[in-house]
Structure 1
């Protein structure tokens, strides 16, 4: 018992000690936070003065403010930065972090690869730490990214530097169940998301509260506020509280009043550390461009990859369909380097796997769209190749920013069509982008056109991808606003289609005006533009004795609708008959329409026509046919096209004299008046038609009467024939000694009570009765009517079909006995 009491008294003595310890700890924490806040205010004041004066920082090697350790940061943040090996501050970090720690709104612009991610992640962690934020306080920070890849990268950096904090962080980018994400949103303090998915949660997830939001960050703000995300961002900002801190960062930031008003920034600080720099891109980046026709870009790219197999490169294209086609084509060609492709239509799991594989690879080639053009940090990228011209200089700067990051070396090359060179180089010079022109070595070029055509011929799926890639590229060029650079009419689309392995350029539906008219009026012998002249040039350039395969012949066909080799022989070329008159086989196979007589009456010439033109008359139409071009001359061989020049046919009837005339003739006005008034003529016409109807009725009745009489005579003849056959089959009476029929004898005796009947009645009784119809015989209608009208003559049984079973015979016998 004493031990129990002693055990009970011990906790009572320690309880005040624990309470004192907790209170002292809270007091120390408050003091540390206050000291930290004072240091932040002092540091922010100095940074604000430097930013307002537009002065750059001193030499990083001699200034102590270029170290993370000199910033007024909390112990968890400083430990996380040190554990993640972040020591030196970049320019944008040194100027933006102090202002962000102070709570000022920031509009930041810096070169690609300058460390903008840490410039906003450190203020986010510090703001929530100084506010002593817990999981019960709800969402405190929201970071919005335009692409999923960039959002994943930001989240990974946040996990590294915030590993010693107690905040909960989440990644909301789509690709997963909305319900699973909604269950975890309520417990998150920091969210990294994409605009569309976040707006979907704000509209559909019940209980998702953002009223306590402290800080909003938009990375790559100019891209987020493009026309594809502007409406989503506007709707998203409406859900957020007004009293918040907002920070915007991008490599190509624009200082627009409309953007600031839309996002409700309050007296923001514009941080542009590289605004006065000599170049908009990193100084360690070597940039080149080469001029190559659109039709040769595939071969130039293949030769470039073969020459840099020990490199890590990203190849940017303008659409996802082009990415798929180039990737599949080069995968079959096997250039000797691992190939990857990335575009926005892929599943989220596949996109994450491809980005991780490319980041971990030492040598690889990634074909991608602009989904990885902004902010994504792939380590040790050697080359950035832009196969398609970017839509503007901002897109160019972001693309080349995937290499030469954090003061490392990098190289970039841009492929330009001759029609794009002047305009694009001019735009780059205006944005302070140093770029030099290089020439392609002829030895490095490798022709893969025939191989791609062979693959498209054998693989219909690859050919389908090529058609989609062609259409998507032409559509992207057509939709560009800068027509000084992008002009669809200056591009050789037929040659580009051939480089993709297509037998002809697919029809482009979005073209209007002259393009559609030209396509519609193109001759059947060649649907693609200028195909005849191109074929003639190719025939001239072709070497003597060169072996042509069946694939070469297939891709040289002028008519893509009819894929038969003998079709051109059937229709023939212009003047072919004149050149091949001595060939009997050619005359035998050539199916041509022969125009004779008036069809080729060329004697009537028009005085106003130019030399070489002619008029053909006598075709039957109201207007003559004018031949003023080769296309009009080809129309003479087509019956279908010449129908409208033949005139409309007339229906005629021939009278008794054999003269043809129209079945309906319209009287003249004088003849109509001479015949009387309209009412009198109508009455006369009605009477004459009535007489014709009566005559036709009489003739119809007479014909029906004759048919009934003929039917009656046939029936009587059939009945007489049946009676004769019945009499022949009956036994006849002979002498006394012969076998006598007792029934015949009884039938000859007189019946009692019938002696007074006359001889006429007796003679009628002696007559044999008509034999009943058999089951296979059919009565006519008249006979059936007579049978129905009979009364007292006995019962007649009609049998529909011959009795087959025993039950049928029993039913027939029962009917006879009832008589």
Structure 2
């Protein structure tokens, strides 16, 4: 019976492996549709607001992340803003410090991107901006905890880290937590960053980001971002400026202020006090406060990083009995993260910080917030004290105020619904002043003294730049006493403090002519005042400002020497003094005459009011008046066509102080030309006129002759120089050869081998001729070197001579010429392959062989 079914070799029905995946996708789509329907049906303005996170229309991944992070109960700001943000509304949220604003925008970010099925291929979906690095790190840590079950990729972009490493990862990020400066840098330089599909923009501490410090950066960032986005802004002190809202392109924003109707802008569990202490006593008060609270967690705010460094280093040397830390913006990012982590994990510690730690940072269990320097405004005060008494915990804050700062600061805080209670320092618990100890440390440690000087300057600068002059009045502060409290021998000079006095002196009216009489000075001052009024009433051009310049004729010494004044016959180079002296000799007019010639005098004449005692001088007055009139003129220009200035009254005398009116008396300037041959300028007369030139061919011939003559002269000079160089070179070569010969002669004399006139020793070669023996003594005294006789060639079987005095030297020469023959197996010396040529050679060979055999 054949079995029914499938044929052998064929497979059964193929299983649908894609079906579970399709079912999962379908189930996810259904969940997303149901979640979107729940969000749409949720009423954000329902009468009983939700109290728990489970009451909100959130996905299961977000619910699990919140539960794992122990977030269950909603705060007021969260219950009112999260439903609105889930529906895509723009929000301006304001709430007290420590009220949970971070989750109020992180939960909508995760939910909105989840409902839109955002992946890494869609680009950047949400951008969260923070004013400080520490706050950005804190937001990123909370995002990691809450979104642990989501598949989004999140990144942290802050300064102080490697830019290249951030570039490599930014292209795959869905959520970014960043500071404005570094984010703008990536938008300009990172090509992989895709922000065209940005869905949400979140500004934490929005009032700080939107102020003047980040204005240009935020404006540049907004130009890169798309306009159809959702914007969320959160802060403890929210901005309502129309200009800020217009810059962000908000669409019907919802302003949610949780504690707007509250009696105080700060948490109710925060106890706030202030102490009135002079500026010079603030460090002593701070030292006593720290010594009295060594079992507390303290956060101390100062106005500048230089002050933070100085106070930290000084107190670290004094050892108050509590761990000390310091935080400011000049530190490296790794050090800042390490300090914030150490401060958060410590139980008893004191942290000196600038306003870097004033906003958003959640330090657990801070007992005291001490503000040594007065904050710049009430908002800064609210953010500073917000580091304690967070989320229904208790906390205390104290503010040190100078007597000049008390009224202005209290009025500003009262407008923000902040009330402070005044307390006094108990003198019994006041520790001994540390001023002497600081002076001793600054004297011994120059670096600490330098830090103190920088701290003083930075504090004065911070007070000077404040806009609220009612609260911050630099003139009411005792800067000398403050410098002494820092341990400095004196107050350092600050340029901008004395700049106001210097500016007033610079703008004060100056006397035009110091040599004038008191009456003329008064009239000049009045005239200057009147002219000033006229100028203020009319339009002043640049020419007016140019001619109103003062002291343009006061030159340095090297410029004064360039001015050549014409001297008169008596050696006087001042025309005014010469005319004045001649005018004194002129007679005065007669008083009794009914008609008289108008008196003419020189400017600044001290004898104007003196009458002549001599009656005879009146007779000479008319005759000498013409001569005096001719002498009372000043020639201001060497140009003969320029008119002369006649000074015959005080009004004419005032022309000397006006450059604009003296221009017509100076005439036209001379036309000077600079050439490449000399540095001194030449006038027009120094150059030949065109009429003086002859024909072009003659000028060319004359020019060639002059150039040829100049070339011959230069050639002769060059030849003389070359001849001298050759002569010098030849003399140097001869001198060098002479020295070499002398040195060789000295060496040969020392070795016993004298070249030239000395004795030359040769090895003994057998019987010498009688003539050679007779010539031996002659060789010792001969000045001329005789021809050396040919040496007798040594045979191949002869050994080197041993009787010679020069035996060692002979052996050395022979070793250099030839190598020693190798020995054979029998121990005999292998003779060179040289055939005997004579009978004597054969006999010698036979004798050697017999001796070897024997």
Shorter chain as denominator, the TM-score bin is 0.5 to 0.7
Post-superposition Cα deviations, 1:608-653, rounded to whole Å, max 9, x if no partner, equal xxxxxxxxxxxxxxxxxxxxxxxxxxxxxxxxxxxxxxxxxxxxxx
Determine whether 1:468 maps to 2:461. Answer: no
Determine whether 1:357 maps to 2:348. Answer: no
In 2: Cα distance, 1:231 partner to 1:428 partner:
29
In 2: Cα distance, 1:8 partner to 1:186 partner:
50
**Aligned 8 A contact 2:154 2:175 in 1:** yes
Determine whether 1:42 maps to 2:41. Answer: yes
What is the aligned partner in structure 2 of residue 13 from structure 1? 14
Decide whether aligned partners of structure 1 residues 800 and 493 sit closer, same or farther in structure 2, where only a CA change above 3 A counts: same
Q: Cα distance, 1:91 vs. partner?
A: 0.3
**Aligned 8 A contact 2:171 2:193 in 1:** yes
For residues 486-525 of structure 1, the aligned pairs below 5 Å read 486-512=472-498, 515-516=501-502
Determine whether 1:664 maps to 2:661. Answer: no
- In structure 2, stretches of 5+ residues that fail to align are 1-6, 507-517, 519-568, 586-623, 628-729, 742-854
**Aligned 8 A contact 2:170 2:192 in 1:** no
**Aligned 8 A contact 2:270 2:397 in 1:** yes
Determine whether 1:390 maps to 2:387. Answer: no
In 2: Cα distance, 1:453 partner to 1:516 partner:
32
Q: Cα distance, 1:172 vs. partner?
A: 0.2
In 1: Cα distance, 2:739 partner to 2:110 partner:
104
What is the aligned partner in structure 2 of residue 369 from structure 1? 354
2:189 corresponds to which of 190, 204, 210: 204
What is the aligned partner in structure 2 of residue 188 from structure 1? 173
Determine whether 1:347 maps to 2:332. Answer: yes
1:157 corresponds to which of 134, 139, 142: 142
- When normalised by structure 2's length, the TM-score is 0.59
Determine whether 1:452 maps to 2:452. Answer: no
Post-superposition Cα deviations, 1:362-384, rounded to whole Å, max 9, x if no partner, equal 10000000011000000000000
Determine whether 1:268 maps to 2:253. Answer: yes
In 1: Cα distance, 2:738 partner to 2:191 partner:
81
Determine whether 1:258 maps to 2:255. Answer: no
Post-superposition Cα deviations, 1:756-776, rounded to whole Å, max 9, x if no partner, equal xxxxxxxxxxxxxxxxxxxxx
**Aligned 8 A contact 1:143 1:219 in 2:** yes
What is the aligned partner in structure 2 of residue 29 from structure 1? 28
What is the aligned partner in structure 2 of residue 309 from structure 1? 294
SS, match of residue 47 in structure 1 = coil
**Aligned 8 A contact 2:274 2:401 in 1:** yes
Decide whether aligned partners of structure 1 residues 396 and 663 sit closer, same or farther in structure 2, where only a CA change above 3 A counts: same
Larger Rg, first or second structure (1 or 2)? 2
For residues 797-816 of structure 1, the aligned pairs below 5 Å read 807=738
In 1: Cα distance, 2:359 partner to 2:443 partner:
38
Decide whether aligned partners of structure 1 residues 326 and 806 sit closer, same or farther in structure 2, where only a CA change above 3 A counts: closer
Q: Cα distance, 1:155 vs. partner?
A: 0.1
In 2: Cα distance, 1:186 partner to 1:502 partner:
54
Q: Cα distance, 1:434 vs. partner?
A: 2.1
**Aligned 8 A contact 1:304 1:444 in 2:** no
In 2: Cα distance, 1:809 partner to 1:218 partner:
91
Post-superposition Cα deviations, 1:151-210, rounded to whole Å, max 9, x if no partner, equal 000000000000111111000002122111100000111000000000000001113110
SS, match of residue 14 in structure 2 = helix
**Aligned 8 A contact 1:373 1:399 in 2:** yes
In 2: Cα distance, 1:36 partner to 1:806 partner:
110
Decide whether aligned partners of structure 1 residues 303 and 78 sit closer, same or farther in structure 2, where only a CA change above 3 A counts: same
For residues 83-482 of structure 1, the aligned pairs below 5 Å read 83-446=68-431, 447-482=433-468
In 2: Cα distance, 1:194 partner to 1:130 partner:
27
Q: Cα distance, 1:664 vs. partner?
A: 3.1
Q: Cα distance, 1:665 vs. partner?
A: 5.7
In 1: Cα distance, 2:740 partner to 2:399 partner:
103
SS, match of residue 247 in structure 1 = strand
SS, match of residue 388 in structure 1 = coil
Q: Cα distance, 1:518 vs. partner?
A: 11
Post-superposition Cα deviations, 1:559-602, rounded to whole Å, max 9, x if no partner, equal xxxxxxxxxxxxxxxxxxxxxxxxxxxxxxxxxxxxxxxxxxxx
In 1: Cα distance, 2:124 partner to 2:239 partner:
29
Post-superposition Cα deviations, 1:199-250, rounded to whole Å, max 9, x if no partner, equal 0000011131101111110000110011111111111111111111110000
For residues 544-563 of structure 1, the aligned pairs below 5 Å read none
What is the aligned partner in structure 2 of residue 598 from structure 1? none
Q: Cα distance, 1:41 vs. partner?
A: 1.7
SS, match of residue 275 in structure 2 = strand
What is the aligned partner in structure 2 of residue 779 from structure 1? none
Q: Cα distance, 1:405 vs. partner?
A: 0.3
What is the aligned partner in structure 2 of residue 601 from structure 1? none
For residues 533-552 of structure 1, the aligned pairs below 5 Å read none
In 2: Cα distance, 1:273 partner to 1:809 partner:
107
- When normalised by structure 1's length, the TM-score is 0.61
In 2: Cα distance, 1:213 partner to 1:338 partner:
45
- In structure 1, stretches of 5+ residues that fail to align are 51-57, 521-605, 607-661, 674-798, 811-819
Decide whether aligned partners of structure 1 residues 514 and 234 sit closer, same or farther in structure 2, where only a CA change above 3 A counts: closer
**Aligned 8 A contact 1:316 1:370 in 2:** yes
1:70 corresponds to which of 55, 60, 76: 55
**Aligned 8 A contact 2:130 2:203 in 1:** yes
**Aligned 8 A contact 1:113 1:404 in 2:** yes
Decide whether aligned partners of structure 1 residues 481 and 665 sit closer, same or farther in structure 2, where only a CA change above 3 A counts: closer
What is the aligned partner in structure 2 of residue 630 from structure 1? none
In 2: Cα distance, 1:494 partner to 1:37 partner:
68
CA RMSD after TM alignment: 3.0
Decide whether aligned partners of structure 1 residues 316 and 805 sit closer, same or farther in structure 2, where only a CA change above 3 A counts: closer
In 2: Cα distance, 1:432 partner to 1:48 partner:
27
In 1: Cα distance, 2:272 partner to 2:244 partner:
32
Decide whether aligned partners of structure 1 residues 150 and 806 sit closer, same or farther in structure 2, where only a CA change above 3 A counts: closer
**Aligned 8 A contact 1:471 1:508 in 2:** yes
Decide whether aligned partners of structure 1 residues 36 and 8 sit closer, same or farther in structure 2, where only a CA change above 3 A counts: farther
